[in-house]
Amino acid sequence: MIVMKFGGTSVEDARSMKNSIQLVKRELHKGPIVVVSAIAGATNTLLSSARLSVEGKLEQATQQLSDLHERHVVVLENVVETRSTVQQILMELKKRFEELKNLCTGIAILGELTNRSLDAISSVGERLSSMIMAEGFKEDGIGTELVDARSFMVTDDHFGNATPLLDEVELLTKAKLSPHVRSNRLVVTQGFIGSTHKGVTTTLGRGGSDYSAAIIGTVLNAQEIQIWTDVDGVMTADPRIVPDARKLKVISFREASELAYFGAKVLHPSTILPAVKKNIPVVVLNSKRPQSSGTQIVENPPKSNAAVKSIASKRGITVVNVQSTRMLMAYGFLESIFSVFRKHKTPVDLVSTSEVAVSLTIDNVSRLDDIVNDLREYAEVSLYEKKAILCIVGEQMQTTAGIADRIFHALGDINVTMISQGASEINMSLVIDEYHVTEAVRRLHREFFEPVPELEIFETVEN
């Protein structure tokens, strides 16, 4: 059995969805479970309609929903030809969008938008795309079961970024999905969404469809987890910044995890974690170019002399400097600092310490004022905004001398305000001004990937 997850661009229109259906058909002998995202842009539109409603712009919100409704109608009518089925699904689409408009009306009247309401609205995209795609498989004569992910993806009630309760998810996933797999029926389900014990809809946060696919693959002992997207695989850099970036044929779980967390858009940071537990290969593939071999992510890739595998960047970073002479020779000071971030549910990316100061980076500033107020009770606090993290990753970095020298030589006159290395021996992270990200990534890419090293590891992508 394998898991095939299709991202939004792989189901964005009728042509893309039909193409994805064909990709599944060629893997039917492997017993695939299909995990579907919302059509490209749907989640953003749904969230936008909710926010417009709370601002009192109900007419604009309703128009956005009407446009999104029409997009789904066009996809449906070009994927499914059986008129009776089309009419049935059209009625279901109309019902769902009427519910959405009623929700938005309620938000506008109350003038209040909760994370729970946002989840109820944003979850609709996956439910609609999976419904249409399941009917597309049936149209091709494939025995198909559409299984609502909320029936097995049990989460906590942290709406907007819910955490799956893995022990319960495992039991329910086996109960809900395994019988269909054993009877050779194709299972189609949604990524990104789940529900609490009380049956209240939740979402797993941005990129959560990858996480859903990995969890399903892990608990059902899949042979492979395929992530179908619109890029050829994991690249040596973001091709939007470096047009001649190379594709990595294979990369380790550790390297991919670092890259995903620090800005690489191919994978959600949590995706790798469940797969690592059972050493299940994850393959990143391009639904627009299925002939590409993609990138394999495995526990133990072939040894390579390439010290650096890839460069990622993450913008929108704020550096929080905490300084106090009370820190000198004191125990418990770091604990006090991190308890503030825990209290305000704000993750920290990087940490660097000196004798009397700690520098931390965050990308979520929604609670920044509260954090600063709490920290100032026992320390001086200064903020540096509009920063970015550069992440240079490679498993051989830990045993290759001179990497840091090459990095700083390549950066030249680009100032580095913070360095973090040691917690991960395969990653050096640098903080720079956001303005310099594009130039910095290009300079580093020239340093480590031009000319092309290790042709058995790297592959040039054809445009």
**Together in a domain, 17 and 161:** yes
What is the bridge-based pairing of β-strands 351-353 and 310-323? Answer: unpaired
Q: Name the pLDDT band for 439 (thresholds 50, 70, 90).
A: very high
Q: What is the pLDDT of residues 112-128, one digit of tens each?
A: 999 999 999 999 999 99
154-163, 181-190, 292-301: the lowest-pLDDT one = 292-301
Q: Is residue 273 part of a domain?
A: no
For residues 383-399, average pLDDT:
90
Q: Is residue 270 part of a domain?
A: no
- The pTM of the full predicted model, rounded to 2 decimals, is 0.87
Q: Is residue 24 part of a domain?
A: yes
Which domain-ending residue is among 230, 245, 265? Answer: 230
Q: Which two tokens stand for residue 132?
A: 């249409």
Task: Give residues with Cβ within 8 angstroms of 362, minimum separation 6.
Answer: 317, 318, 320, 341, 346, 347, 348, 349, 368
Q: What is the pLDDT of residues 131-169, one digit of tens each?
A: 999 999 999 999 999 999 999 999 999 999 899 999 999
CA 125 – CA 72 distance, rounded (Å) = 10
Q: Which two tokens stand for residue 45?
A: 């539109």
Q: Is residue 262 part of a domain?
A: no
Q: Is residue 278 part of a domain?
A: no
The pLDDT of residue 463: 58
**Together in a domain, 200 and 106:** yes
For residues 433-438, average pLDDT:
96
The whole-chain average pLDDT of the chain stands at 91
CA 121 – CA 128 distance, rounded (Å) = 12
**Together in a domain, 105 and 217:** yes
Which domain-ending residue is among 230, 258, 288? Answer: 230
Total domain count, the chain: 2
**Together in a domain, 319 and 416:** yes
CA 157 – CA 134 distance, rounded (Å) = 29
The pLDDT of residue 442: 97
φ, ψ for residue 436, nearest 5 deg? -95, 5
DSSP bridge partners of 227: 5, 284
Q: Name the pLDDT band for 265 (thresholds 50, 70, 90).
A: low
Decide: 177 and 147 in contact? Cβ < 8 Å: yes
**Together in a domain, 225 and 342:** no
Instruction: Label each residue of 106-150 as H, E or C.
Output: HHHHHCCCCHHHHHHHHCHHHHHHHHHHHHHHHHCCCCEEECCHH
Which domain-ending residue is among 165, 200, 230? Answer: 230
Q: Which two tokens stand for residue 349?
A: 């990316």
Q: What is the pLDDT of residues 19-68, one digit of tens each?
A: 999 999 999 999 999 999 999 999 999 999 999 999 999 999 999 999 99
Q: Is residue 125 part of a domain?
A: yes
CA 226 – CA 41 distance, rounded (Å) = 22
Is the pLDDT reported for residue 90 higher than 70? yes
**Strand arrangement of the beta sheet that strand 250-252 belongs to:** 144-146, 186-190, 32-36, 2-6, 224-229, 282-286, 295-298, 250-252
**Together in a domain, 59 and 165:** yes
Is the pLDDT reported for residue 286 higher than 70? yes
**Together in a domain, 192 and 318:** no
Residue 1's nearest CA partner among 286, 280, 250 is: 280
- In terms of residue numbers, what domain contains 187? 2-230
Counting residues of the chain whose pLDDT is more than 70, the rounded percentage is 95
Q: Is residue 246 part of a domain?
A: no
The pLDDT of residue 296: 92
Counting residues of the chain whose pLDDT is more than 90, the rounded percentage is 71
CATH number for position 436:
3.30.2130.10
**Together in a domain, 47 and 187:** yes
176-185, 350-359, 363-372: the lowest-pLDDT one = 350-359
The pLDDT of residue 407: 94
Q: Name the pLDDT band for 195 (thresholds 50, 70, 90).
A: very high
CATH number for position 97:
3.40.1160.10
The pLDDT of residue 329: 53
The pLDDT of residue 339: 93
**Together in a domain, 121 and 218:** yes
If 0-12 CB within 10 Å is exposed, 13-18 middle and 19+ buried, where does residue 164 land? Answer: buried
Q: Is residue 280 part of a domain?
A: no
**Together in a domain, 224 and 317:** no
The pLDDT of residue 423: 56
Q: Name the pLDDT band for 208 (thresholds 50, 70, 90).
A: confident
CA 395 – CA 251 distance, rounded (Å) = 9
**Together in a domain, 226 and 84:** yes
